[in-house]
Structure 1
Amino acid sequence: MPTADAKFERLQTAVDAAGTGTWDFNPLTGELIWSDRCKEIFGFALDQDVSYDQFLEGLHPDDRAFTHAAVEQALRPSGSGTYAIDYRTRWQDPATPPRWTHATGRAFFDAARTQAQRFIGTITDITEQKANQDLLRQRETELATLANSIAQLAWIADKTGAITWYNQRWYDYTGTTAAQMLGDGWQQVQHPEYVHGVTERLRQAFATGTAWEDTFPLRGKDGLYRWFLSRAVPVYGEQGQVVRWFGTNTDVTEMRQLQEQLTQAYEDLEVKVTFRTLQLEHEVQQLRAQMAPGLSTATIPSKES
C-alpha cells in the first residue's frame, strides 16, 4: 500500500504536469517552499531557496501592495482564510516581459482560530489567457465603435436571444437606459398592436437558429412611432453552434410614406383612367345613337331601285 509520501509525490507530479505550481508557507517560521513549476513561472533557479520577501520582490512593482494585502487578509483570524488573485511576475531578466499568473491560497488555523499555522496554494501561468482576453476586449471595443458609428439601431443577444448590448443610437432614439432594457425591456418601446406578433416571430427565429426579418413601429423618446426594418443574424462558434445574435433596426418611415404616396397616386390614376374610359364609352354610345338614323336611310335600298 502506497505511503503518504508516495501519494503526495504522485499528486505533485500530476500537478506539475498540468503546469500548476504549488507552494507551502509557514507563517510562524516564515519558511516558504516552492515547487519547481512555481520557480519557473517566476524565473528563479530551480535550486534557489525563495523567501516571502523574495516572492514579493519577484512581483511586478504595481502588484506588490495588493498581493501582500491579500495574503495578510487570508492569514488574519477574522479573515476568510482564502485568497484568489491575479498578479504579474517581474522575472529576473529586465528584457523579459512580465507573466500573468493566477494564485490561490488557503490558510489553516489552530483549534481556537487565533493563529494561522500553514498557508498553502497554487500558481498558474495565465499569460496566454490574459492575452486572449485583451484581444477579445479590443475586438469588442472595435465592434462597439463600429456599431455606434452606423446609422441603424443595433443590438447583440446571447445564444438564447437575451439581448445583452445596444448601441448608443438605440438609447438616443428610444430615450431609455440600459437598466430599462434588461431582459425583455425592449418590448416597452414596441407598439401594443404589434408587440405580440413581433415577439413570437423573434423567439421562433432564436429557437430554430434562422435569420429573422420583420417590419414594425418603435416608439421614440418623443412618444411618436416610426417604422423600422429589423433584422437579426446568428453568429456561429468554431463548432458550428450559435454563440450570439447581431441585430439592426433601420428607420424606413420615409420609405413607407413614399410607398404609400406612390400606391395612392397609382390608385388615383387607376380611378381617373377608369372614369375617363367610362366617359369615352358614354360619348361613343351617344355618337352612335345620333348617327343611327342616317345610317339606316343610307343603307336600306328603295323599292324603285
Structure 2
Amino acid sequence: MPTSSPEVQFERLQSAVDAAGTGTWDFTPLTGALIWSDRCKEIFGFALEQDVTYAQFLEGVHPDDRALTQAAVDQALSPTGPGTYAIDYRTQWQDPATPARWAHATGRAFFNAERTQAQRFIGTITDITEQKVNQQLLRQHEAELATMADSIAQLAWIADATGNITWYNQRWYEYTGTTAEQMLGWGWQQVQHPEYVHGVVERLRQAFAAGTAWEDTFPLRGQDGVYRWFLSRAVPLRDEHGHVLRWFGTNTDVTQMRQLQEQLTQAYEDLEVKVTFRTLQLEHEVQQLRAQLAAGVSTPLVPPTPLQ
C-alpha cells in the first residue's frame, strides 16, 4: 500500500486533533516557513490573525526551557537522528501578567529519498498545565505523607496503584536492616517468614486487585535475625474519580500483645483445670459425707482446701 504524502498526513492529523483542543503545526526547514493552527496560537498567547515565525516560537518558550527545546528540534531534524520529537516546555506569554503554561509538543520529520535533508516537520501541541499542576500537588501530598509517616512509631510504606512499594519510612530500615534497593517493588518478601510469605502475598495481591483495604498479621525478620509479629494494614488513596493512585501501609509490632494474650489464655486454661479438679474433689468429699451420715457416723467438718 503506498504511503500517504506529508500533506495528506498533516490534514488527517489536523482533523483528528482539532476536536480534542490540540494544536497542529507544520514547519519547512528549508525555507523556515511555519504554519500554526489557531489552538497553537492560543496556547502561546499569540493573536489568531498573527503569522508566527520560528524565531517567535522560540521567544514564546520559557527561557529556562528554550535551549532544551531547540536541542530536541535539532536532533529530530538531523539525518542521523530519530526523526521524532517529544518534549514538555513552558510557554512565556507576551503579557507579563499571564503566568507561564505547560505544553507538550510532539512531531515527526520527513526526509528526502537519500535521507540527507529534512524537508518537512509536522506535529502537535497540547496544553498540559492542569496535569502538571496535579502532578505537583500529588508530589507535595506524597512529601507531606512521607514526613508524617517518618514521625510515627510504626513501620510504614507507600506503594503505587499496582502494589509495587516505592517508599518506606526510616523505621522500616532501622528494624529490618535493609536498603531501599533491596526492598523496592516486592522485595519486602525477603524479610517475611517462609512459612507465612505465600499466604501474605496472595491475600495482599487480592486486595490490590480489588482496590479494598487490607489487614493481616504475620512475623517479620529484624536485622538481628529474630522474627516479631506485626499487625499490618494498607488503605488505597484515590483521586476524585475513585481511581487508586497510591497505597499507604503500616506494620505495627504486636509481639508483646500476642505474648500477653497467650499468657492470659494459658492462665485461663490453668484456672479451668483447677476449678474442674476442685469441683471433682468437692463432689468426692460430699459423697463421703453422705455415706458417713447414712451410716450414723459423726465426723467433724473440715474446711475445703483453698484453690492454688
Match of 1:295 among 274, 295, 298: 298
What is the aligned partner in structure 1 of residue 306 from structure 2? none
What displacement does 1:108 show? 1.4
Q: How many Å separate the matches in 2 of 1:11 and 1:202?
A: 44
* Contact kept? 2:22, 2:40, Cα under 8 Å: yes
Q: How many Å separate the matches in 2 of 1:281 and 1:11?
A: 97
What displacement does 1:102 show? 0.7
* Contact kept? 2:239, 2:245, Cα under 8 Å: yes
Q: How many Å separate the matches in 1 of 2:8 and 2:215?
A: 64
What displacement does 1:181 show? 2.6
**Structure 1 residues 206, 80: closer, same or farther in 2, change over 3 A?**
closer
Q: Does 1:54 align with 2:59?
A: no
Deviations 1:190-236 (A, max 9, x none): 12233233334444545555543322211011111111112234555
What displacement does 1:65 show? 0.8
Q: How many Å separate the matches in 2 of 1:70 and 1:8?
A: 21
- More deviation, 267-276/217-226: 267-276
TM-score normalised to structure 2 length: 0.78
- More deviation, 112-121/167-176: 167-176
Q: How many Å separate the matches in 2 of 1:295 and 1:26?
A: 127
What displacement does 1:163 show? 3.9
What is the aligned partner in structure 2 of residue 300 from structure 1? none
Q: Secondary structure at the match of 2:217?
A: strand
TM-score normalised to structure 1 length: 0.79
Q: How many Å separate the matches in 1 of 2:69 and 2:10?
A: 28
Q: Secondary structure at the match of 1:179?
A: helix
Q: Does 1:36 align with 2:38?
A: yes
What is the aligned partner in structure 1 of residue 305 from structure 2? none
Match of 2:81 among 79, 82, 85: 79
Q: How many Å separate the matches in 1 of 2:188 and 2:8?
A: 61
What is the aligned partner in structure 2 of residue 126 from structure 1? 128
**Structure 1 residues 100, 246: closer, same or farther in 2, change over 3 A?**
same
What is the aligned partner in structure 2 of residue 153 from structure 1? 155
Deviations 1:236-262 (A, max 9, x none): 566666665443211011222233333
State the AA in 2 paired with 1:74.
Answer: A
What displacement does 1:264 show? 4.2
Match of 2:233 among 231, 243, 247: 231
Q: How many Å separate the matches in 2 of 1:101 and 1:121?
A: 13
What is the aligned partner in structure 2 of residue 141 from structure 1? 143
Matches within 5 A, 1:162-177: 162-177=164-179
State the AA in 2 paired with 1:132.
Answer: N
- More deviation, 147-156/31-40: 147-156
Alignment length (residue pairs): 293
Q: Does 1:215 align with 2:196?
A: no
What is the aligned partner in structure 2 of residue 26 from structure 1? 28
Any unmatched runs of 5+ in structure 2? 1-5, 300-308
Deviations 1:123-163 (A, max 9, x none): 11111121122122222222222222222222344555444
State the AA in 1 paired with 2:85.
Answer: Y
**Structure 1 residues 81, 141: closer, same or farther in 2, change over 3 A?**
same
Deviations 1:87-121 (A, max 9, x none): 11110100100111111121111111111122122
State the AA in 2 paired with 1:117.
Answer: Q
Identity %: 83
- Select the structure of larger CA radius of gyration: 1
